[in-house]
Structure 1
Amino acid sequence: MPKKRGYHHGNLRQALVEAALGLIEAKGPTGFTLSEAAKQAGVTPAAVYRHFEGRSDLIAEAARQGYEIFADVMQYAFDSGQPSALAAFEATGRAYLAFARKYPGHYISMFESGISVNRTPELAAASARARAVMERAATELSEHIPQDKRPPAAMFSAHIWAMSHGVVELFARNSPGSQSPFPPEDLLESGIGVYLRGLGLIAPDS
């Protein structure tokens, strides 16, 4: 029987989250039960309810932690790309792919579980922090566009977020029957390039 990490180390809540992340990665967000998560954490099913009301609450906590990591990854990428606004913006797109690969359980909890980011104030705040990094990158990149022609930063960043998400879902997570002849990073970079040229943010021949 697995060691009862929660009781021995006083962190049962986190042990359950880590167990859920492994199960989510292996079986999907609806493919496991709370009993399985409890078994993985080395505790009885009844112990789970001391911390979570049900599976959705457990997944929501996994998503919240994922957004916190995601925001840190995006912020680091943005800072590393400075002082060029373009380099910083492109770095956030690449960071999206890197996060999806390194933290698949978190990624699935965040984007494929059906859990609303507004389920809890803490989850909403973590999600907003991640979005704010991309919006800041979009704002800085589009500062030289006349204000009356400048797209809203939230819309601008949402387009890139959607593009990044599409590349991840179709080509970066081994989706059956959807292998691309190009690396996902190249697909995303070229897609961002087309988008930015359309906005006049980079020269057509750059």
Structure 2
Amino acid sequence: MPKRGYHHGNLRQALIDAALKLIEDRGPTGFTLSEAAKQAGVTPAAVYRHFEGREDLIAEAALQGYEIFADVMDYAYDSGKPSALAAFEATGRAYLAFARKHPGHYIAMFESGVSVNKTPDLAAASARARGVLEKAAEGLSQHIPADKRPPAAMFSAHIWALSHGVVELFARGSPGTRSPYPPEELLEAGIGIYLRGLGLIPPDA
């Protein structure tokens, strides 16, 4: 009986989908190209028509992830307008939502060890995603006096790091870890503390 993989129309995407499932289940180094081929229903030799190796396959999964991520962040930013604060907070929540909805992509992007500079397309997609958060930070930082205003890239990097930490420690169900509060509340509180420190929101009464 012919391998079904040769007949489902888009072998390249089928291999990426297979890799995403394996990445989610086993991590980025926990599977072989042969296993990805088997999952997609094709022979191992068929993989090499599209990818030079496992790293190339993971890089393609990361590229798709960054493209989805940038779209999600863009949508969140636009939905928060016209308030600069609401737009900024929406991008933080979107980070957490993306990690939960697309765990395979998230791992490929941030935990695989594949450089965002591996290909021009991957670098561009990563830059677009970062750019949305920087745009949100730039808009919000205009409310800070110029002599006290952190660079937008630093501002957004702090929030990115905070969001990433909440995801890694508490939102992905890592074995042995247990969040003292819902991840959404942790992230919101952390962002609130940061913004209060910059004088962008008033202190608690």
TM bucket, shorter chain: over 0.9
2:179 counterpart of 1:175? no
Moved over 3 A (4+): none
1:9 deviates by: 3.5
CA distance 1:151–1:49, shift in 2 (3 Å): same
Letter in 1 for 2:31: F
Letter in 1 for 2:4: K
Distance 1:41 1:137 in 2: 40
Matched with 2:30 is 31
- 1:200 counterpart SS class: coil
Matched with 1:76 is 75
Distance 1:115 1:97 in 2: 21
Cα distance per residue 1:48-107 (max 9 Å; x no partner): 111100000000000000000000111111111111111111111111111011000000
2:152 counterpart of 1:147? no
Distance 2:77 2:96 in 1: 14
Matched with 1:197 is 196
Count matched residues: 205
Letter in 2 for 1:171: F
Matched with 1:110 is 109
Q: Equivalent residues in 2 for 1:42-121 (5 A)?
A: 42-121=41-120
Letter in 2 for 1:152: P
1:142 deviates by: 0.8
Distance 2:120 2:158 in 1: 25
1:204 deviates by: 1.2
Distance 2:55 2:98 in 1: 22
1:176 deviates by: 1.9
- 1:29 counterpart SS class: coil
Structure 1 residues without counterparts, runs of 5 or longer: none
- 1:134 counterpart SS class: helix
Cα distance per residue 1:134-192 (max 9 Å; x no partner): 00000000112222221110110000000000000000001122211210000000000
Cα contact 1:2–1:40 (8 A) shared by 2: no
- 2:174 counterpart SS class: coil
Distance 2:182 2:18 in 1: 31
Distance 1:201 1:150 in 2: 11
- Relative to the length of structure 2, the TM-score reads 0.96
CA distance 1:58–1:169, shift in 2 (3 Å): same
Letter in 2 for 1:202: I
- 2:105 counterpart SS class: helix
Distance 1:59 1:9 in 2: 21
Cα contact 1:64–1:123 (8 A) shared by 2: yes
Distance 1:112 1:105 in 2: 10
Distance 1:190 1:159 in 2: 14
1:2 deviates by: 9.5
Distance 1:159 1:165 in 2: 10
Cα contact 1:2–1:42 (8 A) shared by 2: no
